[in-house]
Amino acid sequence: MSLRLGDDAPNFKAQTSLGEIDFYEFLGDSWGVLFSHPADYTPVCTTELGRTASLKYEFEKRNVKVAALSVDSVESHKLWINDINETQNVEVNFPIIADENRAISEAYDMIHPNASLTATVRSLFIISPDKKIKLIITYPASTGRNFQEILRVIDSLQLTANHSVATPADWKDGERVVVLPSIKTEDIPAKFPKGFELVKPYLRLTPQPNK
């Protein structure tokens, strides 16, 4: 059965480029990003892993731990990391999981029917500290991930987890947000003292509460 938003993220133990990990222990109380790749030495994924490494500070300041996955071996991962560091001018400092038997890929429903065993293993999961899946994005092999969008979604998830708001289309951190319909309009001033705009009875905008 396919994983859905709100499901528990499957735990696993695995060998990685940084040694053996228990996934839940690795995440601890942090948010997590788990993203998969078809195989080592693939060009688009080389740029993605490089970009992830270059965003180390951005993930750290959001309390996010990152792990990548490929169906190749730890030895292959380590050699690939040398190429990534060289060509992307970075230092890969997060684990790349070896999923040679595809057990993790299958647990996370990363391998899709009517395709080769590895060609469509390009999924990304955002996992909250309570180990729930909060976002799933699956990319075709030809399209590199937009990491600014991934950071934007993390900002939204973390904001909306702690405040009674949602984020509108194209929202970026620091912009106005939507008051949830469950909040009565007459209760907004007490809950959101920065003020609000009543666009429609069901569309109320307020400054981002944690800024």
pLDDT digits (tens, 9 = 90+) for 67-76: 999 989 999 9
Domain 163-206 fold is Antioxidant, Horf6; Chain A, domain 2 (3.30.1020)
Reply yes or no on whether the pLDDT at 114 is more than 80.
no
CATH code 3.30.1020.10 region(s) in the chain: 163-206
Average pLDDT, the chain: 93
Mean pLDDT of 148-177: 97
CATH of 13-145, one of 3.40.30.10, 3.30.1330.50, 3.20.20.150, 3.20.20.10: 3.40.30.10
* Residue in 45, 67, 92, 151 annotated catalytic: 45
How many CA atoms are closer than 13 Å to the CA of 108, on its beta-carbon side?
30
Mean pLDDT of 55-62: 97
When pLDDT is cut at 50, 70 and 90, the band that residue 141 belongs to is: confident
Mean pLDDT of 78-89: 97
Share of the chain above pLDDT 70, in %: 95
When pLDDT is cut at 50, 70 and 90, the band that residue 197 belongs to is: very high
Mean pLDDT of 153-178: 97
Q: pTM for the complete prediction?
A: 0.93
**45 carries an active-site annotation:** yes
CATH code 3.40.30.10 region(s) in the chain: 13-145
Reply yes or no on whether the pLDDT at 112 is more than 90.
no
Reply yes or no on whether the pLDDT at 117 is more than 70.
no
pLDDT digits (tens, 9 = 90+) for 2-12: 899 999 999 99
When pLDDT is cut at 50, 70 and 90, the band that residue 140 belongs to is: confident
165 or 142: which carries more pLDDT confidence? 165
Q: How far apart are CA 66 and CA 185, in angstroms?
A: 39
